Structure 1
Amino acid sequence: MPGERLDAEWVRSWWEQADAALTKLMQSFLPTHGFPPGHNAVMLATDDSHAATSALVDLTPIPSDLTTLYCVISEASLPDVDSGYFIHSPTSVAEHFREYGPAPIDGEWIAPVFASDGGGHLFAIGGGGQVWKASTASFDDCDLVAASLQEFLEQLGRRITNQL
């Protein structure tokens, strides 16, 4: 939904659904796959992650949807969902931004990298809230994967439930 901003209550509801689905997935993982799962979790925000989010905002004008996300969750580690998905902590986002700057996506005034997948592809969120995925380990070639952070999270939630 372009133009609409991410709502913290929606993120909390998404987290509850993802957490419930991950619990079911982890219970069936060993019998289904024949080996134990890794640590799969979406972690709720803490006082430390809130402080890290404030430091990130001081470092760069991050899109408001990313700030909203980090008000509710601090990060996600989903190594057993498809090839793996990871929402980076605000500390990691700040470290990456300090080292590499924003992702160089044409038409985006700022695009911090906030997530990755198990294949080494990076995800960045542009100033307009769109989510981009690098086709390689850099953003020389990237694709629009979601019109908003909410759409990106919805896609991720479907990936979790599709494995049940």
Structure 2
Amino acid sequence: MADERLDAEWVRVWCEQAGAALIKLMQSFQVRHGFPPGRNAVALATEESHQATDALVELTPIPSDLTTMYWVIDEVSLPDVEIGYFIHPSSTVASHFREYGSIQIDGEEPALVFASDGGGHLFALAGSGRVWMSTTASWFDQFDLAAASLQEFLEGLARRISGEL
């Protein structure tokens, strides 16, 4: 899977399916949990987010799968899915890159942090296409393999939204 590149049409379909699963989850959320859900959304890219992605590409070598994803998705905010999952907008990724740089993982190309969970763990995508997750809520500690590809990472998020994990 890591040798295959992410397809924009696949990401569009993922957005539709994740959005539909999210609607279903939110309809029953308050009954199950006793309080209303937060803002859970899969936000599609806009002209403004495309410009931010272009600026990110100019700033740093960005894995091509991340560019493909950001051409379709602006951000994903899932505070009520398990512990919470967030795909940061490309403008935030650029800001974080300016502040912290890329993530160095032994035996791997430098990785770019693009997401986090509600516990502060970070997700970074390397040029190889693999997604890595920090073992602590830190930019500077160890990162372990989280998914063989960005597509696999997104598929895992979809399963979490659907309650299949």
For this structure pair, what is the TM-score category when the shorter chain's length is used for normalisation? over 0.9
Residue 140 of structure 1 deviates from its aligned partner by: 1.7
Measure the CA separation in 2 of the matches of 1:93 and 1:147: 21
TM alignment of 1:67-146, pairs within 5 A: 67-138=67-138, 139-146=140-147
Q: The residue matched to 2:111 in structure 1 has which SS?
A: coil
Alignment gaps of 5+ in structure 1? none
Residue 114 of structure 1 deviates from its aligned partner by: 0.1
Measure the CA separation in 1 of the matches of 2:141 and 2:160: 26
Partner of 1:159: 160
- TM-score normalised by L of structure 1: 0.97
- CA deviation vs aligned residue, 1:32-82 (integer Å, no higher than 9, x gap): 110000000010000000000000000001000000000000000000000
Aligned CA RMSD, in angstroms, stands at 1.2
Measure the CA separation in 1 of the matches of 2:119 and 2:127: 25
Q: Report the AA paired with residue 137 of structure 2.
A: A
Q: The residue matched to 2:116 in structure 1 has which SS?
A: strand
Residue 6 of structure 1 deviates from its aligned partner by: 0.1
Q: Report the AA paired with residue 132 of structure 1.
A: W
Measure the CA separation in 2 of the matches of 1:45 and 1:36: 27
Residue 108 of structure 1 deviates from its aligned partner by: 2.4
Q: Aligned residues: percent identity? A: 71
- TM-score normalised by L of structure 2: 0.97
Measure the CA separation in 2 of the matches of 1:107 and 1:49: 32
Alignment gaps of 5+ in structure 2? none
TM alignment of 1:30-41, pairs within 5 A: 30-41=30-41
